[in-house]
Each structure stands twice: as structure tokens, then as C-alpha cells.
Chain A
Amino acid sequence: MSENQNTPADASTEVTVGSQAGTAVGPAERFPDPGIPEHKHRLTDTDPRAARRAERTVTLLFVLSILGTIGSIVAYVMVPPDGTASGVRLSTLLIGLGLAVSLLGIGIAGIHWAKALMGDREMVQERHPLATNDADRIVAVKDLNDGLADSGVVGRRGVLKGAFFAALALFPVAIAVPLIGSVGGDWNISAFKHTMWKRGTRLAIDPSGRPIKASDVTVGSVFHVIPETTEEFRETHEWITEKSKAVVLMVRLNPEDLRTDQSPEGETWSHEGIVAYSKICTHVGCPVALYEQQTHHLLCPCHQSTFDIADSAKVVFGPANRRLPQLPITVDDEGYLVAQDDFAEPIGPSFWERLK
């Protein structure tokens, strides 16, 4: 493992010994390894002026790095962000540029130093087989067996061994049970099947929360709808979770355009061409927010599932499999749009127990 061996001649004799054996008698099966290519001198090896120039360049780069650091601190002090987006951008840019120069200076200097000035003669070291040699293996196996013998459990005491492994396997249960018991909250997964819509809940505008009168809904207009609730409730986490299931998209179509909706026989879930569908995609749950008035198509911007509002929100394209569940609506005595009931089926993406 010494550098004295790295001259091309030495190295090549060393590595080609094996493969040259066959060359004496006729052409061999394989070509001989020509050995390490001849070392090519760099300009800095032969020309002291070039070496000095490289040294100056490296020095200069380190100085540039120092200037970059100083520049960064100057920018930090002199250009405080005034809070506006452009002020923050300027501060970010200047501090960042200073830091970048500081880092790049060191980096480029290091590489240039290594490439131009440090020794570039290739060295050869041997590899050794990774497997332990036989003698050591024998000792290792013997040590293990001795250790096993000393433990006193060889071949006998099956109960002790069983108890030992059982105890080791079981103790994490005492940690896992309390963790798993609480990590999923109340574990009430049936909550997936219900939303906060109830009989008589008014449809309100998202996000203001103002209830919607049927007479205010003009043909062709689209409303992003939430269930009416108190202002206080709308400032809680529970609301965000409920809203995640309850959001609805409401459209008023020309009654003649509305081919079908999801109302069962004998019921009317729409009101004079106003239909309300869950806004949560039945694919993986993105809000289906893009409505195209001409085609009555509703497009999910995440994965492009497309639903036809005029035809009971059935899937016309994309990865969704099921139509968007319809919120049955009607009007109350004051003319406000209200829900007749919760959705008839679970909203959003499919899950194992969905139909149970």
C-alpha cells in the first residue's frame, strides 16, 4: 500500500502478471491488461508559473468567499425587510447571494486546488476478499458455540427458551395497547358515513355562512355551499372536520336541461332545477370545484374525474367510479333552501365498510 508503486511501469507489471501467461503460444483467449495508462503531466506540474497562477486563483477564490460572507452580513443589516413581499424578496436575495458567494468561493477553490496543485498520480491498492478467512471463521464459530454452551440452554430447557422468547415478544404489547388505543381518537369509523346535514338544515354560502333563498339562485349560477351553523362553531376544529364532509356544490339548471337526478321514485330531491351535490370527489376526496356551465360538467382539478350535473352527477371521465352523492333539498316556509335529510350514502372516497 505504498505510493512508490504507482509509477505506470510498476503498476502495469503488477496487474498484468496473470493475464500475460498465455501470450507466448499463439493468440491468447483474451487480450492482456495493458496496465494503468501512462501518467500525463499537467501544466502546473511542469510550469512553475502555471502553478503559481493556480495558487493565486485559489487564494483569490478564498478571498472572494470572505467578501461574500461580509456582503451577506452587510445585506442583513442594511436591507431589513420592510414586511412587504418585495422587501422580503430583496432581503432574501441579497443575504442569499452573499451566502452563495461565500460557499461557492470555498467550494470552487477547494476543487481547483485539488485538481491543479495536489498530486494527481493514480495509486493502486489491493482489495482483499470480504469473507473472513477460514482460520478466523473456525475461531468465530467455536466462540459462538462456547458462548452458547456457557449459557446453559443447549439442547435442553425448552420451556425456559420458550418463556424467554415469549416474554421478549410480548412486552411491547404493553406499550402498543395504550398507544394504539388513543392514537386514533375515538376509533368511531362509522363517522365516515354521516355528515352534519340534517332535515331542515339551511344551505348557506361558503365561506360567509349566509343562508340562501331559492329565489336568489338564478339559472346557470353556481353556489359553494356549507350547512348553516353558528359563527362560533365555524371557528373550531370540529367545524373544519365537519366541513370536510359537508361541502356541497349547488347549481341551478334550466329544468328542461336537468335530465335525471338521484331522487328515488316518488321523491323530489331537487327544487325547480336547483340541484346540490357533494363537493367531495368519490375518487380520493379532493373538492370537485370546477364547473363548466355549457356542458354541465363538474371537473375535479386533482385527477380530472368529470361528473355530469345534468345527469345525476354520473362519472363521464377519469378515475372516479361512483357519482357524487346528491343532497336532497327543498325550501322552507321562508323560502330558504334546506336539506331534506343527510346524504343517502357516504360521501367521498370509497372504503372497505362503506356499504355495511
Chain B
Amino acid sequence: MSNATHDTTVEAPAKPTTTVGKAADYLDQRTSIGVAVKEFARKVFPDHWSFMLGEIALFSFVVLIASGFFLTMFFEPSMALTTYEGEHPANMHGQLMSVAFSSTLEMSFEVRGGLLMRQIHHWSALIFMASIVVHMMRVFFTGAFRKPREINWIVGILLMILGLGAGFTGYSLPDDVLSGNGLRITDGVVKSIPVLGSPLSYLIFGGEFPGHHIVPRLFTLHIFVIPGILLALIALHLFLMVLQKHTQYPGGGRTDKNVVGYPAAPVYVAKMTGNFFIVAGVLTLMGATMAINNVWNYGPFDPSPVSAGAQPDWYMLFLEGSLRLMPGQGTEWVIAGFTLPLNVLVPAVVIPGILFTFLIVYPFLEAKVTGDDREHHVLDRPRNRPARTALGVAFLAAFIILALAGSNDLIATHFGLSINAITWVFRILFFVGPVFAYYITKRICLGLQRKDRELVLHGHESGRIVRYAHGEYVEVHTPLDEQERWLRVNYEAPAPLAIAPKTDARGVKRKGYASDKRWQGLSRFFYEDRVSPVTPAEVEAAHSHGEHDQLDGSERQAVEAGVGSTSREH
């Protein structure tokens, strides 16, 4: 970091001669943009494929805005009823429908490229949510949410929730049978909320379901309110990322005090621009080749029909599955004449509530049970935090089981199974699966850590069998090079919290001991089982008693047998 070169060479730069130079000078004299250029042009960003996941979310959002702009030119968010005059699609001709639905048909069938943009928009929404979730998994499993990034983690969760909101409000706009039934389910869920449910339903629909206000209201939310907040929060998300500098994966030379990678200009400018165009290109390819949400097959909204096998977009599947799994018997309580439908409230409000609360609370919880107040910029390998990784996988398992349960009818018809049996299997899996996933994942992590220890202590198997003069056979192990070794030993295995004793020096009971004790219990849950990194002393000890692990030149004079050549290792 030789700022000195900047400070000592204060000769005035030459007068700009080129057009670009003059333009830059013009701009700089009015905005001091040179300061920003100096700060950011060669700013270093670490490189890893998984850092691209968040970019995919960002770029899908850009595609959503661009394709969404196109759609707003033709969509009319009105529930006024009209008779469809268009000739195509033939099954819709002459039907009574809302203007929202008819304008959706017109933009698909009359506007050239309209269907393409609709399909790109819908696919982008699915990929947007998918990349957010996968990006979140990356951040979670590598511990990128730790200090100082807790705030940005919460901003990210808000972005995910807003993304769900954007998807939901957009899905309902065409006013077709499928989305209408989705709204109806929403209405049922809202009504289940104690005390406020019925007024909230009126507030949303401007009266009884469906009324004639909901599409314009959803439209305003979908194209103005939600994207506005999304944009602001994305800006904050990126600002914090730049301010705190990106995290980096562990490796030689990477510490919590530096950032190792490639400069913004030109490498990241090129890579990010390239990535944007690839994301946009793939989404366009999807929109061009894969039909999605052909609303004319369902028809305009009518409260009476519903088709079997209807699925919400994937990111809503877990809620749908949660609703499907909850048994109805005995779960609607009447208290003092008021109805409390737990069969709706628990799966649609409490379960997602638990999920989001876990996500929001987790960084603070982990810091507390680790007793950790330091800044972290080097990521964890997931195996080195077995409890965290296992908890993440457990929640993911619950999410996936619920999403699968949201498709239980399709599973039933595809595999010719009883839907009741499948539902029961999922009901049990929902409780057993995450526990099982937790246990298995934790064991895998600990196993991988032990394998790392084993490697560091004894080296790679070389496949060479050596026979000593006295007849003993050993396999030669090749020691790890220092980069390989560093990756496997450079981590911390925190121990459970140590707490002050119950009574102080004078035998007086200490305040806060019970609370400390509880935190210690939780800390044990996290860190009781742990595998510590290998120390140099351990390697030394391993080599002194296991001399055959590493043969130096003199010992190699022993007779060699088996595979491998004599001269390869060194």
C-alpha cells in the first residue's frame, strides 16, 4: 500500500489534449469525480464462482425492469369487464373478461415480441428468486453474515421478502383463473388472522373478494412501491458490500486484514458486464423457447372453476405445501365465541414466521454463542462450522419437504400413489427430515474435518509400497505442499463458552448466572463436538512416531515394490 507514490509525486498533470481527456477534465472541474475514480478504478475484488450468484440476482432484476417496462406499455390494470373481440386465441373470442386479462391476451397475440417479453419477465422472476435463495445459502454456509456484515444480511433478507412480494403481486395481475384462486387462498389466509383478519381482507380487496379494486392495487405495488423499495435496498446492499469490501475464501495470503483479487478496471468491469449479458441472454433464451403461464389456457377469472394439478410459482410452493400438510381435525379453536383457525394460521403465518425469524436472528445468535466480537472477512469452509452447516441444511430440508408437499398432487399422479399416503409421509418427514438432515450433515462435516487432519498429519497416499530391509511393508505418503496444508489448518474451532462461577469470591450468588448458563447450554449445542486444526507440534509428533509416513532419501534405498515410479516424488 504505497500511498507515498501518490503523495510525493504532486507534479501537476499535463493539460488534457484528447477529447476524452478534455471531457474528463470538464467533468472533474465540476464534480471532483477524479477522487471517485482514484478510489474505485483499481479497487480489488476477490474472485470465486460463488460470488457470481448474487450478481445473477442483480442482473435478473435488471432484466425484470427492462422487460417489465415493455409490458407496462401494453398492460391495462383495469378490472372493468369487456367482451374479448380478438380472433386469437379462438377459445377466448367473445368471452366476458376483465380489461386486465384482455390486454394480457392482446400483448401476447397482437404485439410482436410481446409474448417473448412476458415469458422473459416470468422466467426472470423465477430465476431472480432462485438466485437470491442460492446466494443466501452461499452467504450462510460460508459465514459471510458475521461481523461486520450482519446489517447487510438483514438487508438481503428484506430483499428476499420483497422479491416474494414482487412475484406474488405480478403473478396475480393477468386476472386469470389460476392467479384468481391464488388470491382467493391469500384471502382465506388473511381472514384467519385473529381480530384483524376480516378488516384486513376488506382493506386488501376494497370490499369482499374479489371486488374490482385488487388488480389496480396490485399493479401499483408491483410496478412502483415494491420495485422502488427493492431498488433502494439493492443500492444499500451494494453500497455496504463496497464499503466493507468483499469477503474472500481462505487460502494463502488471505487474511482478515487484506483483500486479494483482481482490480475493478478492467477485469471486473469486463467480467460483470459479460455476466450481465450472459444472464440476460440465457433468460431471453428461456423466454424464447419455453412457454410459461399461458393464461388463455386457463381463461379469465371465474370464482367457480379450478383445475387440478395447479401449482404456484416455485418460491410459493413451500407455503402451499405447508397449507396442504396441516391436519384440519381439531385445529380450529373457538374461544369465547371467536374463531381461531389454527389449521390456516399455523402453516401460512407461523411456519414462514419461524423461517424468517431464524434467518434474521441467526448472525446475532451465532456471535453470542461463539463469544465473538471480531471482524471476519475470510470465509469459513462449511465443514469447519459443523453446527452452522447442519442447521442450515436442516432448515433447507424443511423448506424442500414443504415445497415437495406443495406438489403432492403431481407426485401422486406421476407415480400413481395415494395422495393421502403421500401427505402422511410428508407430515412425518417434516418433523423427522430436518433432524435427520442435521445429524447427517454434522457427521459429514466432522468427518471431512478429520479427513483434513489426517491429510495434514500424514500426507497424500502415493500408491507406492515400500519394503524395508527387515521385511516390513509400508505405503509412502507424500506430504502436503504448504498451500494445501494452509487451507486445512487455517481455521478456528471455537470451544463452548466458559462462564463465571455461580457465586462470586464472597460466596454471594451472581446475578445473571441463570441466563449465562442457558447461553452456555446453547453454546455447547454448537461447539461441543469439534475437530481442532492440526498444529505444527502435532505434525512433528506424527512424523517422529510414524517415520514411514515420510521417507527421506536414505530410507528410500529400501527395496521398492508395487505401483509408482521411484523418481516421481520430491
Contacts and interface: CB of A to CB of B under 8 A. Distances in A.
Contacts of A88: 88, 108-109, 115
Given A93-B289, A127-B377, A321-B332, A122 B112 contact: no
B328 A97 contact: no
A164 interface: no
A299 to B, nearest CB: 8
A12 B256 contact: no
A313 to B, nearest CB: 13
Nearest to A185: B207
B303 A92 contact: no
Interface in A70-113: 76, 80-81, 83-85, 88-89, 91-93, 95-97, 99-113
Contacts of A324: none
A295 interface: no
Nearest to A285: B188
Given A122-B261, A185-B211, A351 B339 contact: yes
| Most central of A102, A123, A315 by chain B CB within 10 Å | A123
Contacts of A315: 328-329
Contacts of A162: none
Contacts of A4: 2
B73 interface: no
A123 B285 contact: no
Contacts of B206: 183-185
B274 A93 contact: no
B420 interface: yes
Contacts of A112: 274
Interface in A308-335: 315, 317-322
B229 interface: no
A80 B259 CA distance: 53
A206 B304 CA distance: 8
B113 A321 contact: no
Contact of B113 (A35, A76, A85, A352): A76
What interface size band does chain B fall in? 35 or more
A356 B208 contact: no
A283 B343 contact: yes
Interface of B: 1-3, 5, 42-44, 47, 79, 81, 86-89, 96, 108-110, 112-113, 115-116, 119-120, 148, 181, 184-185, 187-189, 191-199, 201-203, 206-213, 243-245, 251-263, 266-267, 270-271, 273-282, 284-285, 287-289, 291, 301-310, 320, 323-332, 334, 337-341, 343-344, 347-348, 375, 377, 408-409, 419-420, 423, 482-483, 485-486, 489-490, 533-537, 539-540
A110 B207 contact: no
Given A34-B253, A83-B87, 4 more contacts: A99-B288, A107-B277, A113-B274, A247-B303
B535 A27 contact: yes
Given A118-B266, A241-B210, A283-B344, A354 B252 contact: no
Nearest to B108: A88
Contacts of A34: 252-253, 482-483, 485-486
B82 to A, nearest CB: 10
Contact of B199 (A110, A187, A283): A187
A122 B196 CA distance: 58
A36 interface: yes
Contacts, number: 384
A33 to B, nearest CB: 6
Contact of B304 (A2, A85, A109, A279): A279
B175 to A, nearest CB: 11
Interface stretch (A43-51, A213-221, A232-240, A265-273): A232-240
16 contacts: A3-B263, A26-B537, A89-B115, A91-B113, A93-B288, A103-B280, A106-B277, A110-B275, A126-B257, A180-B203, A189-B198, A189-B199, A283-B328, A318-B324, A321-B330, A322-B332
Contacts of A106: 273-274, 277
Most buried by A among B203, B206, B328: B328
A174 B43 CA distance: 49
Nearest to B534: A31
B109 A81 contact: yes
A84 B108 CA distance: 11
Nearest to A96: B288
A349 B274 contact: no
A283 B198 contact: no
Contacts of A247: 303-304
Interface stretch (A145-153, A255-263, A286-294): A286-294
A19 to B, nearest CB: 9
B267 A114 contact: yes
A301 B307 contact: yes
Interface string A166-209: 00000000000000100111110101100000000000001100
Contact of B42 (A3, A84, A108, A110): A3
A286 B306 contact: yes
Contacts of B87: 83
A319 B285 contact: no
A33 B309 CA distance: 57
A353 interface: yes
A123 B44 contact: yes
Nearest to B341: A350
A303 interface: yes
Contacts of B79: 237
A317 B409 CA distance: 14
B115 A92 contact: yes
A350 B339 CA distance: 7
A35 B483 CA distance: 8
Contacts of B185: 284-286, 302
A224 interface: yes
Among B271, B282, B304, B344, chain A packs the most CB atoms within 10 A around the CB of B304
